[in-house]
Amino acid sequence: MAKKKAFALRINEEVYKAIERWAEDEFRSTNGQMVWMLQEMLKKRDVFQRKPLQTGKKIRVWTNSLAII
């Protein structure tokens, strides 16, 4: 199984509540829902197929209310 990385996420309360409700509808934990959402977005943008950056620079992925660095 792939190693998991823990990190702190600062998120707008309104966005968090919306994700929490969505997670309930899907019978997932809020954390599980966020992981699923991120994986789906990365698949949609074909990020899993890209080669890692060689420069060490950070990548910013923007969604409607969330910046992932």
Give pLDDT tens digits for 8-62. Answer: 999 999 999 999 999 999 999 999 999 999 999 988 888 777 666 666 666 666 6
32, part of any domain: yes
21, part of any domain: yes
* pLDDT score, position 15: 96
pTM for the predicted model, two decimal places: 0.64
* pLDDT score, position 30: 97
40, part of any domain: yes
Which residues, at least 6 apart from 44, have a Cβ–Cβ distance to it below 8 Å?
none
Q: Rounded mean pLDDT of the chain? A: 83
Please give the tally of structural domains in the chain.
1
17, part of any domain: yes
3, part of any domain: no
**Residue 36 lies in domain:** 13-49+58-68
Residue 38: closest CA among 17, 5, 63, 65: 63
